Amino acid sequence: MENKKISMAVVRRLPRYYRYLSEILDGGTERISSQELSKRMNVTASQIRQDFNNFGGFGQQGYGYNVRYLRDEIGKILGLDIMHNVIIVGAGNLGQALANYGGFNKRGFHIAGIFDVDQRIIGNDINNLRVRSISEIEDFLQKEHIDIAALTLPRENASLMAKKLADLGIGAFWNFAPTDLKLPNNVVVENVHLAESLMRLSYRLSEQN
């Protein structure tokens, strides 16, 4: 594939394509046209073809797409063919929910550790993971190769912890803390601000009234 800049709008649609194609494959369909995929996803067939053409097209004119091949190729583009090791920093309700979610492994994400400062939680098992003290995190990172840190911390602690982890070599953050992280440009951050998402939903709801 030619090395070219792909717009973030296209990148944001790729996980949705991957999810739908996985469901289609599970349903036993082996080949699908852009028109059929369009009806299922409520995205125009033209948009689908434009998106896929960014990566070489994947299909043959009049023949459609091989669902497994297309799903697997999109998975490679998303980096899902490589297992990424993840730590969760913050073992409160949200951190525990992430640790208990069973869908990460089959998407290429292995939860390797979970950390907290609360002595009442440290030592407990969450989905076969022992909650470790935050004081152990530096030693843990020296022994284990970790790609991603999921931050489920209070706002006041998130920025300092992110800086510390970035200095220790973490290159990507899945940030659930209600704050924007200020990190070097070579560090990747995906913010998941739940309250902001709910406010956007509220706005859209108010537009309908």
- For the record, the structure tokens of 136 come out as 């152990």
| Residue 57 confidence (pLDDT) | 67
pLDDT of amino acid 173: 97
From start to end of the chain, where are the E strands?
A: 31-32, 65-66, 84-89, 109-116, 125-126, 129-133, 148-151, 172-175, 188-191
Residuewise pLDDT in 10s, the chain (209 residues): 444 578 888 988 999 999 999 999 999 999 999 899 999 999 999 999 899 988 876 766 567 899 999 999 999 999 888 899 999 999 999 999 999 998 898 888 999 999 999 999 999 999 999 999 999 999 999 999 999 999 999 999 999 999 999 999 999 999 999 999 999 999 999 999 889 899 999 998 998 87
Q: Which CATH architecture has domain 8-76?
A: Orthogonal Bundle (1.10)
Report the alpha-carbon distance of residue 191 to residue 193 in Å, rounded. 6
Question: What pLDDT score does 207 carry?
Answer: 87
Give dist(CA 169, CA 85) in Å, integer. Answer: 13
Regarding the domain delimited by 84-196, which CATH topology (the fold level of the hierarchy) does it fall under? Rossmann fold (3.40.50)
b/e 72-86 (16+ beta carbons within 10 angstroms → b): bbbbebbebeeebeb
Look at residue 1 in the predicted model and tell me its pLDDT: 43
- Taking the C-alpha atoms of residue 96 and residue 205, their distance in angstroms, rounded to an integer, is 30
Sketch the domain layout of the chain as residue ranges: 8-76, 84-196
| Predicted pLDDT at 105 | 86
